[in-house]
A and B are shown apart, each in its own frame.
Chain A
């Protein structure tokens, strides 16, 4: 057989049927379901009197709408409450396992999948959520879909898909101290642009990627979609296998051995052909801070806000000018002089235990700056929260004046009560700095957890490499 990429292998293993036009009926091993993009899919099933094809292939949780404060009285917003109750009812009616609010396993869908061993190497994983690419960190083919496709996957356990092209993003060498997975992926987006991965599945490789923990790889794959690629992935190595071992839904005993032997083949063959290869030197990557309203509008923390006058492409120049206006920034301002009003540490990008440890290491023994109105620490799941509390991280945060919250998507997209007010500026560990993303009129700067914690203490962006 010809040399194949990791993506080729994952794709080939899931083809049920090939059409003449090259599109395929692709089998889906796992679908993750949340409350926002599923109600209309379940409605569609009811209308057509269809059943769920394989109930056990699905796992549901409520994450976007859930409050991160006291949950004992349920959800105050009646519209959010109806949406979460609708998920509960649909899961009960169609026989789908759900981690409800109040279950310690509840959390952000992309945190709980790997945490539970519900998403595994070699799987096809889909969810009505663009950040499904996260699960590719395990050596899976994972991508976001729309609600019509959620319904399709529920009804048929398949999707009609056309294969993407293969891209390799190789991050060679090692990053310096203080430079994290978040900085690596922002540097990649800066290099290839927010549409650079459109039409491709991206495999992230190179020494710097394999030096990352599996959680760090999740941060990188999570933002593949911010580079335009539906799917991002990393080859399976020993770290992947050790990460999966012993998780609740991971195989055990003989089945584990069988699975591991199959997973060891989940890497691109040495002479596999990629349609496009991008190489970055890890050593030159610095902590990153976005300055605009697209993730590609990003610079190193020691740089200045760029000047649209230097941009030759008129559409780009216009976009930069509009972004600076929205962000209320002047070209030429040093990034470290930008003050923040709020800080958000959480989201499917950066709410895992290692992220919280990194933020706590910076915050320990410090207080938030007086000009910072609020610092939210929102763990990715009930289990991450429990682990952090066992390690005493919550005490470090509360001593610093940060707020320790319940798990959910929270201020990444502000569908619950956590949001920016118009004009507020936020250092955020989330994935999108779009206009209004964290609240109408809010201004978002994407950074790593350590950089966010440092900004909370200093009141403005600082280079975490110089943090004491």
Chain B
């Protein structure tokens, strides 16, 4: 997992609530057995006018000019502004894979669905929570200012606007540590292999039916 410490990047606004993971990456692309390559089909149903299927050359498809990410001013965006309950629905990790593959490293929204939120951290994406009133201002400023950039400092837990205004955000200490260092959970958890074995030994006595063969 690539670490994330600080980032100054172009901002793209996705101004709708309850964006579900079926929209972030539609089901036909979940047939892939790989982690990479989902960027061209991020928001597929909104982004293109023609139906998409796996294996197509997506650069040849008809672009929907009305969709915000297709506007030239947002090309190369690394920070996505979103609304409430972003990432609701399916647990598909293909959603953060697609966002990451497209180029987003930071999402800023008033709230997220739990599973999606968790999945972001496991892929080096920082989902920042800011209150709706601040989100409204960030949306307004982004729309009003071509080339609008935000600076995100994970260590300091701050988002700073071009005018120097700065907002703090909360993040779980352990998740912050993992993002800052690009660590994934498995290696860290396996450091506690003895504790896991001890737990299992105790449970085999307490609740032996949990260890019946499958």
CA distance A162 to B174 in the complex (A): 11
* CB <8 Å contact, B184 and A262: no
* CB <8 Å contact, A440 and B45: yes
B residues near A435, Cβ cutoff 8 Å: 22-23, 45
B residues near A262, Cβ cutoff 8 Å: 207
* CB <8 Å contact, B20 and A434: yes
CA distance A318 to B15 in the complex (A): 10
* CB <8 Å contact, A83 and B172: no
CA distance A29 to B207 in the complex (A): 11
Q: Does B81 contact A (CB under 8 A)?
A: no
* CB <8 Å contact, A156 and B199: no
Cβ-neighbour of A82 out of B28, B33, B114, B200 (below 8 A): B33
**In the complex, per-residue mask of B35-53: 1 if CB is within 8 Å of any chain A CB, else 0:** 1000000000100000100
- A149-B85 CB under 8 A given contacts A319-B17, A435-B45, A440-B45: no
B residues near A132, Cβ cutoff 8 Å: 91
Instruction: Name the residue of chain A whose CB is nearest to the CB of B121.
Output: A148
**In the complex, per-residue mask of A41-75: 1 if CB is within 8 Å of any chain B CB, else 0:** 00110001010011111110000110000000000
- A318-B16 CB under 8 A given contacts A195-B84, A258-B208: yes
**In the complex, per-residue mask of B181-208: 1 if CB is within 8 Å of any chain A CB, else 0:** 0001110111011011001100100011
* CB <8 Å contact, B214 and A58: yes
* CB <8 Å contact, A56 and B211: yes
B residues near A413, Cβ cutoff 8 Å: 22, 27, 90
CA distance A128 to B118 in the complex (A): 13
CA distance A27 to B116 in the complex (A): 21
CA distance A160 to B187 in the complex (A): 12
Q: Does B89 contact A (CB under 8 A)?
A: yes
Q: Does B213 contact A (CB under 8 A)?
A: yes
Q: Does B164 contact A (CB under 8 A)?
A: no
CA distance A233 to B194 in the complex (A): 31
A residues near B211, Cβ cutoff 8 Å: 56
CA distance A318 to B200 in the complex (A): 52
Shortest A373–chain B CB gap in Å is 19
* CB <8 Å contact, A147 and B93: yes
Interface residues of B in 67-93 (CB under 8 A from A): 83-85, 88-93
* CB <8 Å contact, A36 and B91: no
Q: Does A146 contact B (CB under 8 A)?
A: yes
CA distance A29 to B196 in the complex (A): 12
Instruction: Name the residue of chain A whose CB is nearest to the CB of B50.
Output: A440
B residues near A460, Cβ cutoff 8 Å: none
CA distance A122 to B90 in the complex (A): 25
CA distance A317 to B87 in the complex (A): 20
* CB <8 Å contact, A56 and B214: yes
Shortest B82–chain A CB gap in Å is 12
* CB <8 Å contact, B115 and A144: yes
CA distance A58 to B214 in the complex (A): 7
Q: Does B168 contact A (CB under 8 A)?
A: no
Interface residues of A in 71-105 (CB under 8 A from B): 77, 79-80, 82-83, 86, 97
Shortest B193–chain A CB gap in Å is 8
Shortest A337–chain B CB gap in Å is 27
* CB <8 Å contact, A294 and B195: no
* CB <8 Å contact, A258 and B209: yes
* CB <8 Å contact, A198 and B113: yes
Cβ-neighbour of B91 out of A120, A123, A145 (below 8 A): A145
Shortest B114–chain A CB gap in Å is 5
* CB <8 Å contact, B91 and A436: no
* CB <8 Å contact, B192 and A16: yes
Instruction: Name the residue of chain A whose CB is nearest to the CB of B210.
Output: A29
Cβ-neighbour of B27 out of A27, A77, A322, A415 (below 8 A): A415
* CB <8 Å contact, A130 and B90: yes
* CB <8 Å contact, B23 and A434: yes
Instruction: Name the residue of chain A whose CB is nearest to the CB of B199.
Output: A16
* CB <8 Å contact, A16 and B190: no
- A148-B196 CB under 8 A given contacts A97-B214, A414-B27: no
Q: Does A324 contact B (CB under 8 A)?
A: no
Q: Give chain A's interface residue range (CB within 8 Å of chain B).
A: 35 or more
**In the complex, per-residue mask of A412-449: 1 if CB is within 8 Å of any chain B CB, else 0:** 01110000001000000000101111001000000000
A residues near B91, Cβ cutoff 8 Å: 37, 128-130, 132, 144-146
A residues near B16, Cβ cutoff 8 Å: 318-319, 322
* CB <8 Å contact, A80 and B31: yes
Q: Does A118 contact B (CB under 8 A)?
A: yes
* CB <8 Å contact, A155 and B22: no
Shortest B81–chain A CB gap in Å is 13
Shortest A114–chain B CB gap in Å is 14
Q: Does A255 contact B (CB under 8 A)?
A: yes
**In the complex, per-residue mask of B105-119: 1 if CB is within 8 Å of any chain A CB, else 0:** 000000111110011
A residues near B119, Cβ cutoff 8 Å: 146, 148-149
B residues near A212, Cβ cutoff 8 Å: none
- 18 further contact pairs, Cβ within 8 A, besides A79-B54, A434-B22: A16-B192, A25-B195, A27-B203, A145-B91, A146-B91, A146-B122, A148-B122, A148-B123, A149-B122, A156-B186, A156-B189, A156-B190, A160-B189, A198-B112, A228-B88, A435-B22, A436-B22, A437-B27
Which residues on A are within 8 Å of B, measured CB to CB? 16-17, 19, 21, 23, 25, 27, 29, 36-37, 39-40, 43-44, 48, 50, 53-59, 64-65, 77, 79-80, 82-83, 86, 97, 118, 120, 122-123, 128-130, 132, 144-149, 151-152, 155-158, 160, 162, 164, 194-195, 198-199, 225, 228-230, 249, 251, 255-256, 258-259, 262, 294, 315-316, 318-319, 322, 413-415, 422, 432, 434-437, 440
5 contacts between A and B (CB under 8 A): A25-B189, A53-B196, A156-B190, A256-B209, A436-B26
Which residues on B are within 8 Å of A, measured CB to CB? 16-18, 20, 22-23, 26-28, 30-35, 45, 51, 54-55, 83-85, 88-93, 96, 111-115, 118-119, 122-123, 172-174, 184-186, 188-190, 192-193, 195-196, 199-200, 203, 207-214
8 shortest A-B CB distances, which residue pairs? A148-B122, A146-B93, A39-B33, A251-B209, A146-B119, A144-B91, A147-B93, A130-B91
